[in-house]
Amino acid sequence: MRAAIDTNILAYAEGVNGFEPRQAALGILRRVPTRATVIPVQALGELYNVLVRKTGRSAAEARTSVMAWATTYPTANTTWSALVAAAELAAAHRLGIWDSLILAVAAENGCGLLLSEDLQDGFTWGGIRVVNPFAVPRFPLLDALLEDQAREGQTS
């Protein structure tokens, strides 16, 4: 199973909202298999804005952070079909277009999970389920994904 990472998880990992959210996000990201993860390019664009506007980082610092994420994890581009699906999703479920676009791109890239604290935990659309990785108890499919990584780490 593949998982997509939403902007807020990346922002927390960058230290937005303090030390504890950063540690929690990094803990999740370290355990999610890189080969089974994708970051929608939309999420990277949003991260850039958060880093510049909310944290006051310079444009160069924000660019460096975004590029580091893009070289660490596979990225998924926005397509015309994802935009059309996002517009339909936003209209049908009263979601924001940018959140809908991240969800549509994740679905288009074969993800079964979208890790996000911002969208409604448990929302399912197009074969993808929104999962808050910080929720307790954790969603069983996310636990399975994290356990797969732990098992691989033991056999390496």
The region of weakest confidence among 64-68, 70-74, 106-110, 117-121 is: 117-121
pTM to 2 decimals?
0.89
Sequence-distant (6+) residues with CB within 8 A of 148 are 33, 36
Distance CA 135, CA 52 (A): 28
Q: Average pLDDT, stretch 46-52?
A: 97
Domain ranges of the chain: 2-155
138 DSSP 8-state letter: P
Q: Is 3 helix (H, G, I), strand (E, B) or coil?
A: strand
In CATH, what is the architecture of 2-155?
3-Layer(aba) Sandwich (3.40)
Mean pLDDT score of the chain:
91
Peptide bond into 33 cis (omega under 30): no
Distance CA 42, CA 91 (A): 19
What pLDDT, in 10s, does the model give residues 50-96? Answer: 999 999 999 999 999 999 999 999 999 999 999 999 999 999 999 99
% of the chain exceeding 90 in pLDDT = 75
The region of weakest confidence among 30-39, 127-136, 138-147 is: 138-147
